[in-house]
């Protein structure tokens, strides 16, 4: 496969995520303490054991009962402390990961939908689940361990120097070399770690796409082709994982070799010390254990750091989402919700990409109680007007106001109470139909849901269901027909009571009589509501009070449907049934 997935490096990403620990100071202190006690208990057990052996070798053995009691107690302490350390470090890690997951979710909602650009659903899911899970290693097994390993290394070195000054002179440089090895090899670790994370994200995104598109893949006989694609992606991930494992294995072998060489050197120093009379025979086992106490933490640190490439790559991907710019910033001082009034597009300019303007000075008004049809050829900019009215993006120039209030001055909750939409592709969640209708107002009473369903002409259908509105909607509304889904979307929008309603090609997939019924139902509830319809059908245009015709990102004509028809405003645009 040629499209090899990549991760863009973001210097400092890992460092920016570390303060996430600050939210759990008690858990971090507990982890640090448990680690320190665990390391020191291990060191004490090893040194005590070695001292007992040393005394035995020197011909002054400690009574067996005392040896058993001392070593037994130390082993019990180390066992309990190891369990304690595992518990507190994972407790800390999972708390921090939960916080990060919330931050990632907040970031997605902050930048969605306008700022998500070409990001794929599966890629976002990988960040929220797998990349964050990868950081478990950092928070549970790295930070506290690095700090306590340093303490044990310093304590071990001091004790070793006290027993034999030659010992640290041999093992300390080796310990430093072992510790810096992963740092020296970090470029390889970063490259391989990035490839693993990127390949994981690409495979997840493809699997999500495949599951979402199973119907199309089945109908068009493309299942086998898709299977081959996923197999290639899986091989790509496998290759990345094997290369990363080979690199990590090589690093481990290198570190082990350095530790072993340093261990042999320490042994030679101890033997020489005993032969030269510098070291008492009884102290020799203790000296060897202390050499291990210096090398042990160093190799532990090195082995922890060999995962740094994967950690950095996961951190890069999380950081990219957390630091993504906000496409529509919240107002510093929000204006009160307008509660209704004229919807005004005032000389609005906008483009998705630099130097590619889509709207070039669009101006029109939708008054309360009025239905305005937005008409234009495909690609003219109708949906873009809707995206701006829903504030998925802000205009690059000009402004959009409701009741005289610029949309940019409304906080998000007020904006959602002011402008609502019946989209073309209705997304239903797997809860009940009533839950889906309540999406914008979770606290709505049953009677209000029923009234909204009534207004959307959904009641007759609901009455045929075993549990009426409490019947599950199925995965993405699979248990409902297209018309029924559209009616649920209308009920959902009406329940919000928003004074501005956008119908985004809501009727595009419906047959003419269903569309007419639905339009009449929406009309009957309009009162003072301003309604903007993206109209593709002549019947929809004819029902509107006024029409705004857009061409090339500009309003080229406005008037009643009759006026525009007489002027032949859309004669070049439409077939007898559809416009645009």
Ligand X SMILES: Nc1ncnc2c1ncn2[C@@H]1O[C@H](COP(=O)(O)OP(=O)(O)OP(=O)(O)O)[C@@H](O)[C@H]1O
Applying CB under 6 A, the residues found at the interface with ligand X are 352-353, 358, 376, 378-384, 580
List CB contacts of 181: < 8 A, sequence separation 6 or more: 251, 254, 255, 258, 302
CB of residue 372 to ligand X, shortest distance in Å: 15
Of residues 166 and 350, the one with the C-beta less far from ligand X: 350
Structure tokens at 101: 């997951």
Of residues 341 and 580, the one with the C-beta less far from ligand X: 580
Of residues 220 and 352, the one with the C-beta less far from ligand X: 352
Of residues 292 and 580, the one with the C-beta less far from ligand X: 580
Counting Cα atoms < 13 Å in the Cβ hemisphere of 378 gives 3
Of residues 210 and 383, the one with the C-beta less far from ligand X: 383
Chain centroid offset of residue 205 CA: 13
CB of residue 537 to ligand X, shortest distance in Å: 12
Q: To which residue do tokens 């390889």 refer?
A: 188
Of residues 309 and 580, the one with the C-beta less far from ligand X: 580
CB of residue 425 to ligand X, shortest distance in Å: 12
* Cβ(216)–Cβ(222) below 8 Å: yes
Gap between the Cα atoms of 159 and 148, Å rounded:
16
Give the strand pairing for 546-551 and 530-534: unpaired
Strand partners, 532: 372, 502
How many CB atoms are located within 10 Å of the residue 79 CB? 11
Structure tokens at 87: 């518990």
CB of residue 458 to ligand X, shortest distance in Å: 26
SS3 421: strand
Of residues 85 and 504, the one with the C-beta less far from ligand X: 504
* Cβ(542)–Cβ(354) below 8 Å: no
Burial of residue 106 (CB within 10 Å: 0-12, 13-18, 19+) is exposed
SS3 222: coil
CB of residue 348 to ligand X, shortest distance in Å: 12
Of residues 332 and 353, the one with the C-beta less far from ligand X: 353
Q: What angle do CA 268, 272, 273 make, to 5 degrees?
A: 115
| Helices (runs of H) and strands (runs of E) counted in the chain | 22, 10
CB of residue 424 to ligand X, shortest distance in Å: 8
* Cβ(517)–Cβ(345) below 8 Å: no
CB of residue 35 to ligand X, shortest distance in Å: 49
* Cβ(532)–Cβ(389) below 8 Å: yes
What spatial distance separates the first Cα and last Cα of the chain, rounded to whole Å?
A: 38
- Does a cis peptide bond (omega within 30 degrees of 0) precede residue 113? yes
Of residues 297 and 553, the one with the C-beta less far from ligand X: 553
SS3 373: strand
How many CB atoms are located within 10 Å of the residue 218 CB? 11
CB of residue 110 to ligand X, shortest distance in Å: 18
For 114, 195, 498, 510, the CA distances from 478, given in Å and listed in that order, are 27, 37, 28, 16
CB of residue 509 to ligand X, shortest distance in Å: 13
* DSSP codes, 471-527: SB--GGGTTS-HHHHHHHHHHHHHHHT-SEEEEESTTTTS-HHHHHHHHHHHHHT-T
CB of residue 398 to ligand X, shortest distance in Å: 16
Of residues 13 and 538, the one with the C-beta less far from ligand X: 538
CB of residue 378 to ligand X, shortest distance in Å: 3
For 66, 297, 502, the CA distances from 76, given in Å and listed in that order, are 15, 22, 70
CB of residue 251 to ligand X, shortest distance in Å: 44
Of residues 376 and 483, the one with the C-beta less far from ligand X: 376
Of residues 45 and 548, the one with the C-beta less far from ligand X: 548
- How large is the angle between the packed helices 166-184 and 223-276, nearest 10 degrees? 170
CB of residue 479 to ligand X, shortest distance in Å: 28
130 sits in which H/E element: none
CB of residue 352 to ligand X, shortest distance in Å: 3
Of residues 392 and 441, the one with the C-beta less far from ligand X: 392
Of residues 10 and 119, the one with the C-beta less far from ligand X: 119
Burial of residue 380 (CB within 10 Å: 0-12, 13-18, 19+) is buried
557 sits in which H/E element: strand 554-559
């Amino acid at each position: 496969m040629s499209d090899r997935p990549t991760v863009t490096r973001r210097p400092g990403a890992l460092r920016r995520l570390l303060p996430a620990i600050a939210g759990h100071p008690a858990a971090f202190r507990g982890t640090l303490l448990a680690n320190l006690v665990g390391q020191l208990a291990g060191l004490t057990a090893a040194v005590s054991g070695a001292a007992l052996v040393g005394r035995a070798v020197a011909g002054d053995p400690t009574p067996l009962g005392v040896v058993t009691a001392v070593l037994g107690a130390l082993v019990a302490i180390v066992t309990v402390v190891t369990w304690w350390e595992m518990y507190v470090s994972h407790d800390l890690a999972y708390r921090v990961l939960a916080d990060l997951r919330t931050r990632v979710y907040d970031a997605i909602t902050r930048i969605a939908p306008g700022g998500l650009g070409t990001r794929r659903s599966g890629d976002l899911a990988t960040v929220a689940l797998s990349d964050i899970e990868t950081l478990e290693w950092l928070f549970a097994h790295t930070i506290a361990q690095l700090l306590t390993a340093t303490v044990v290394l310093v304590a071990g070195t001091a004790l070793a120097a006290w027993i034999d000054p030659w010992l640290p002179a041999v093992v300390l440089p080796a310990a430093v070399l072992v510790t810096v090895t992963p740092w020296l090899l970090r470029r390889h670790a970063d490259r391989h770690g990035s490839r693993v994370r990127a390949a994981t994200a690409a495979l997840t995104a493809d699997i999500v796409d495949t599951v979402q598109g199973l119907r199309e893949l089945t109908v068009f006989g493309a299942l086998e082709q898709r299977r081959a694609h996923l197999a290639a992606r899986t091989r790509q991930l496998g290759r990345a994982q094997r290369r990363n494992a080979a690199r990590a294995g090589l690093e481990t072998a290198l570190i082990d070799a350095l530790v072993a060489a340093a261990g042999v050197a320490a042994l030679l120093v101890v033997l020489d010390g005993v032969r030269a009379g510098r070291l008492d025979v009884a102290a020799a086992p203790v000296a060897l254990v202390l050499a291990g106490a210096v090398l042990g933490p160093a190799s532990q640190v090195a082995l922890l750091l060999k995962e740094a490439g994967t950690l950095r790559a996961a951190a890069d991907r999380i950081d990219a989402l957390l630091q993504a710019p906000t496409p529509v910033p919240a107002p510093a001082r929000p204006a009160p919700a307008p509660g209704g009034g004229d919807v005004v597009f005032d000389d609005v300019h906008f483009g998705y990409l630099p130097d590619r303007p889509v709207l070039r000075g669009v101006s029109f008004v939708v008054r309360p109680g009025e239905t305005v049809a937005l008409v234009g050829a495909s690609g003219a900019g109708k949906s873009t007007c809707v995206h701006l009215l829903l504030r998925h993006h802000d205009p690059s120039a000009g402004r959009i106001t409701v009741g005289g209030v610029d949309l940019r001055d409304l906080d998000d909750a007020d904006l959602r109470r002011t402008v609502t939409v019946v989209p073309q592709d209705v997304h239903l969640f797997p809860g009940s139909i009533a839950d889906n209708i309540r999406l914008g107002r979770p606290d709505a009473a049953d009677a209000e849901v029923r009234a909204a369903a009534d207004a959307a002409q959904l009641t007759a259908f609901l009455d045929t269901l075993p549990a009426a509105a409490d019947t599950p909607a199925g995965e993405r509304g699979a248990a409902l027909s297209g018309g029924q889904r559209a009616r649920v979307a209308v009920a959902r929008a009406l329940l919000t009571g928003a004074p501005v309603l956008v119908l985004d090609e809501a009727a595009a997939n419906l047959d003419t009589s269903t569309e007419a019924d639905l339009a009449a139902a929406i009309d009957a509830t309009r009162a003072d509501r301003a309604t903007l319809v993206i109209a593709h059908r002549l019947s929809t245009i004819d029902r509107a009070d006024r029409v705004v015709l857009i061409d090339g990102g500009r309003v080229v004509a406005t008037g009643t449907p009759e006026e525009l028809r007489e002027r032949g405003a859309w004669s070049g645009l439409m077939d007898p049934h559809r416009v645009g």
